[in-house]
Amino acid sequence: MSQGPEQHADNEIPLADANDPRLAPYRLLTDRALRDRAPSSPTEVSATENAPHGRFLAEGHYVLQRLIAAGAPVLSVMLTERRAAAAREYLSTFRGPRYLVSEELASKVVGYPVHRGVMGLVARPRPLTPAELTIDASLLVYLDGIADTENVGAIFRTAAALGADGVLVGPTTADPLYRRCVRVSMGATAVLSWARDTGGDALSRLNGGPLSGWSLVGLSPDGSTTLEHLVEHQPPRSVLILGSEGPGLGDKVRRDCDELVSIPIGADSDSLNVAATAAIALYRLAARRNGDSRHSSQTK
Amino acid sequence: MSQGPEQHADNEIPLADANDPRLAPYRLLTDRALRDRAPSSPTEVSATENAPHGRFLAEGHYVLQRLIAAGAPVLSVMLTERRAAAAREYLSTFRGPRYLVSEELASKVVGYPVHRGVMGLVARPRPLTPAELTIDASLLVYLDGIADTENVGAIFRTAAALGADGVLVGPTTADPLYRRCVRVSMGATAVLSWARDTGGDALSRLNGGPLSGWSLVGLSPDGSTTLEHLVEHQPPRSVLILGSEGPGLGDKVRRDCDELVSIPIGADSDSLNVAATAAIALYRLAARRNGDSRHSSQTK
């Protein structure tokens, strides 16, 4: 599969040195460093001038293809020679540099085996404000204190697939553009709109502002209303509020909710995982919102 | 929290040597070895005589408590001294040995940091046959080629919570009693009934046997029937058939299905994760099966 240099596209750049500064952003950087770090070299300055809000990494052909299709600002791509051919079609419109490396070099740079064969460095978009997110929206998800990146990724993936309008990310919830969130969400965290809700008292403030007129629906195993009851009298604009596995919704958040809604489960059972809860609730509310069209519209 | 030896219960045995043969089953064993390996020492013989079908490991207080409450045959428990007190209540009826070790020793034995503070060695039950599983059942899940232990665990957890009667585990699906499946399922893989469906042509054979009269419902993004349509005419006995992330249902399995059912998603979206798919489908079918009782029955 590896091709000689003469067959490389204009912007395919074979690299053989793990210390090449162009590979620096791919090198063992933490997600936080990618987001926050000031560039450390002239090469890095040019790489970050188009990324005033920081950068993140997207792994795998599927995710990168989805991001490019959605118009995400991809800054550069690192491809293993063996997998470069697979990327040519979806990268055909991509004008940035594609660094071609061996699988060994890729693993050395990244710090773990790179099986997916491709990583893209992407500029973070300007963060939306909660007010921007709520405009024209009618079904949102609020993530309260969900530190587990896999749960955050899974909920974004489901929310995008089932047609939620966006996600409000609570103060102590994991950053949706951390590597694992992007990967688990199959790129949905870079495609679906979301806004970080910062500071304490977050939900209360929103309730008096951008979420004024919205129904704040907390999902909780001890909720007094069942999901099916909520579906029957579905409010026109709802935020589904999800908490973390162990502690569930925080006390303050519970008090801010208009309703606490439960999904009935067996008496001898553990509670549902938060991602399963999100899937069930979003399915029911999105389906009701979209009416019968969901019964006939078929996508693959 | 650590207590002197004089305060230990009869069956609390402090151990300080990582090479103690009583800790052998906890020591860096692969799941497969625990399941299959013949005992290698007299101590191990006595430890395995009550486990003719092999053993598995359960991690964490919640999981162990659930297994003991369900009457699972726990053979021994390894506790860190710091967390031993937390286990006394739910272990009060447990007569087997409890090995008390330091956190350092536990991590040395297990091979990774033991944060959960407790591991139990449990005898595998005699495997059920598919015929045994289908008796008195009306809603089952079939896992077709799901090698990902996290997905297997997540589906079991949801299936147990939402009231499925059991799980048929296809030939190439991960063993539900592998450590990570047990952990992710919160112990559901050791509590919910399941049967391994071995050999090729598995579903066809079952269809002519124990699943005769059942409706075989394959969940697939390209299914021609929507889930809501299935819910409306829900057959009295259904097996929900789930495939793996990438390839989906195998060709043979697709042909064996009575219906291929989809959950409609947005046109520009990735497919739903298989665990999210399972949660939505089980919620809808279990709710319908249980009728209005689900709307009023409320659990914690």
b/e per residue B118-130 (b: at least 16 CB within 10 A): bbbbbbbeeebeb
Chain A residues in contact with B187 by the CB 8 A cut-off are 270
Q: What chain A residue is nearest to B277 in terms of C-alpha separation? A: A279
**Which amino acid is present at A196?**
R
Residues A295, B229: C-beta atoms closer than 8 Å: yes
Q: What chain B residue is nearest to A150 in terms of C-alpha separation? A: B150
Averaged pLDDT for residues B285-290 = 72
Residue B38's pLDDT is 59
- Taking residue B45's Cβ as centre, other Cβ atoms within 10 Å add up to 11
**Whether pLDDT at A193 is above 60:** yes
pLDDT tens digits for range A269-290: 778 999 999 999 999 998 766 6
**Whether pLDDT at B53 is above 50:** yes
Residues B154, A279: C-beta atoms closer than 8 Å: no
Q: Interhelix angle for A149-162 vs A274-290, to 10°?
A: 10
Residues A270, B186: C-beta atoms closer than 8 Å: yes
CATH: 3.40.640.10, 3.30.1330.30, 3.40.50.300, 3.90.1150.10. Which one for B5-123?
Answer: 3.30.1330.30
Residue B298's pLDDT is 35
Averaged pLDDT for residues B115-135 = 90
Encoding tokens for residue A37?
């770090």
Residue A65's H or E segment, with its range, is helix A61-69
Lowest mean pLDDT, pick from A164-173, A220-229, A272-281, B37-46? B37-46
* pLDDT tier, A117 (very low <50, low <70, confident <90, very high otherwise): confident
Mind telling me how many Å the CA of A171 is from chain B's nearest CA? 25
Best B283, B285, B297 member to test A by mutation, with max A CBs in 10 Å, is B283
List Cα–Cα distances, A143 to A201, A203, A242, B104, B141, in angstroms: 14, 11, 5, 36, 30
* pLDDT tier, A263 (very low <50, low <70, confident <90, very high otherwise): very high
The rounded distance, in Å, linking the Cα atoms of A158 and B220 is 16
* pLDDT tier, A260 (very low <50, low <70, confident <90, very high otherwise): very high
Chain A residues in contact with B295 by the CB 8 A cut-off are 226, 228-229, 264
Question: Do B5-123 and B130-296 come out as alike in CATH topology?
Answer: no
Q: Which residue has the tokens 């009575």?
A: B258
Lowest mean pLDDT, pick from A173-182, A196-205, A274-283, B89-98? A196-205
| Parallel/antiparallel/unpaired status of strands B238-243 and B215-219 | parallel
List Cα–Cα distances, A294 to A95, A124, A220, B225, B269, in angstroms: 38, 33, 27, 11, 14
The rounded distance, in Å, linking the Cα atoms of B265 and A184 is 18
- Taking residue B33's Cβ as centre, other Cβ atoms within 10 Å add up to 12
Residue A286's pLDDT is 86
Averaged pLDDT for residues B236-260 = 90
The rounded distance, in Å, linking the Cα atoms of B73 and B92 is 15
Instruction: Compare A269 and A264 and report the one with higher pLDDT.
Output: A264
Is the CB of residue A204 less than 8 Å from the CB of residue A256? Answer: yes
Most trustworthy range by pLDDT among A26-35, A66-75, B265-274: A66-75
**Whether pLDDT at B28 is above 70:** no
**Of B62, B161, B294, Cβ closest to residue A272:** B161
* pLDDT tier, B290 (very low <50, low <70, confident <90, very high otherwise): low
Q: For domain A130-296, which architecture applies?
A: 3-Layer(aba) Sandwich (3.40)
The rounded distance, in Å, linking the Cα atoms of A113 and A120 is 16
The rounded distance, in Å, linking the Cα atoms of A153 and A185 is 4
List CB contacts of B169: < 8 A, sequence separation 6 or more. B143, B175, B176, B194, B195, B196, B197
- Alpha-carbon radius of gyration of chain B: 21
Averaged pLDDT for residues A94-99 = 91
Residue B4's pLDDT is 45
Averaged pLDDT for residues A32-48 = 60
Residue A247's pLDDT is 75
Residues B265, A224: C-beta atoms closer than 8 Å: no
Q: Is residue A30 classed as helix, strand or coil in its secondary structure?
A: coil
Averaged pLDDT for residues A92-112 = 88
Of B182, B91, B200, B70, which Cα lies nearest the Cα of B145?
A: B200
Mean pLDDT of chain B: 84
* pLDDT tier, A292 (very low <50, low <70, confident <90, very high otherwise): very low
The rounded distance, in Å, linking the Cα atoms of A83 and A102 is 10
Q: What angle do CA A194, A141, A222 make, to 5 degrees?
A: 155
The rounded distance, in Å, linking the Cα atoms of B177 and B187 is 9
Provide the greatest CA pair distance for chain A.
68
Lowest mean pLDDT, pick from A243-252, B70-79, B104-113, B193-202? B193-202
Is the CB of residue A282 less than 8 Å from the CB of residue A160? Answer: no
Q: What chain B residue is nearest to A246 in terms of C-alpha separation? A: B62
Return the number of CB contacts < 8 Å for A and B: 136
Q: Is residue A265 classed as helix, strand or coil in its secondary structure?
A: coil
Specify the length of chain B in residues.
Answer: 300
Residue A297's pLDDT is 36
Chain B residues in contact with A187 by the CB 8 A cut-off are 270
Residue B48's pLDDT is 59
The rounded distance, in Å, linking the Cα atoms of B98 and B11 is 6
Is the CB of residue A168 less than 8 Å from the CB of residue A141? Answer: yes
Residues A266, B66: C-beta atoms closer than 8 Å: no
Is the CB of residue B294 less than 8 Å from the CB of residue A228? Answer: yes
Residues A263, B272: C-beta atoms closer than 8 Å: no
Q: Is residue B67 classed as helix, strand or coil in its secondary structure?
A: helix
Most trustworthy range by pLDDT among A40-44, A202-206, A293-297: A202-206
* pLDDT tier, B297 (very low <50, low <70, confident <90, very high otherwise): very low
Q: Which residue has the tokens 């030896």?
A: B5
Residues B226, A264: C-beta atoms closer than 8 Å: no
Chain B residues in contact with A279 by the CB 8 A cut-off are 272, 275-277, 279-280
pLDDT tens digits for range B162-200: 999 999 999 889 999 999 999 999 999 999 999 998 765
Residue B299's pLDDT is 35
Mind telling me how many Å the CA of A284 is from chain B's nearest CA? 9
Q: Which residue has the tokens 């040519």?
A: A88
Lowest mean pLDDT, pick from A228-232, B29-33, B126-130? B29-33
Residues A283, B280: C-beta atoms closer than 8 Å: yes
Encoding tokens for residue B229?
């349509």
Q: What chain A residue is nearest to B271 in terms of C-alpha separation? A: A161
The rounded distance, in Å, linking the Cα atoms of B36 and B71 is 23
Mind telling me how many Å the CA of A60 is from chain B's nearest CA? 13
**Whether pLDDT at B159 is above 80:** yes
Instruction: Compare A3 and B155 and report the one with higher pLDDT.
Output: B155
Q: What percent of chain A has pLDDT over 90?
A: 53
Residues B270, A187: C-beta atoms closer than 8 Å: yes
The number of angstroms, rounded, from the C-alpha of A69 to the middle of its chain's C-alpha atoms is 16
Residues B295, A228: C-beta atoms closer than 8 Å: yes
The number of angstroms, rounded, from the C-alpha of B9 to the middle of its chain's C-alpha atoms is 31
**Of B70, B160, B300, Cβ closest to residue A222:** B300
Q: What chain A residue is nearest to B275 in terms of C-alpha separation? A: A276
Is the CB of residue A83 less than 8 Å from the CB of residue A136? Answer: no
**Whether pLDDT at A6 is above 70:** no
Residues A269, B295: C-beta atoms closer than 8 Å: no
Q: What chain B residue is nearest to A298 in terms of C-alpha separation? A: B264
Encoding tokens for residue B256?
């064996």
Most trustworthy range by pLDDT among A41-45, A199-203, B26-30: B26-30
> What are the backbone dihedrals phi and psi of residue B24, each rounded to the nearest 5 degrees, phi first?
-50, -45
Chain A residues in contact with B294 by the CB 8 A cut-off are 226, 228, 264
Mind telling me how many Å the CA of A188 is from chain B's nearest CA? 8
Instruction: Compare B38 and A133 and report the one with higher pLDDT.
Output: A133
* pLDDT tier, A43 (very low <50, low <70, confident <90, very high otherwise): low
List CB contacts of B121: < 8 A, sequence separation 6 or more. B25, B26, B47, B55, B56, B57, B74, B75, B76, B77, B78
Residue A46's pLDDT is 54
Averaged pLDDT for residues A117-127 = 91
Q: Point out which residues pair with B12 in neighbouring strands.
A: B98
Break chain A into its structural domains and give their ranges: 5-123, 130-296
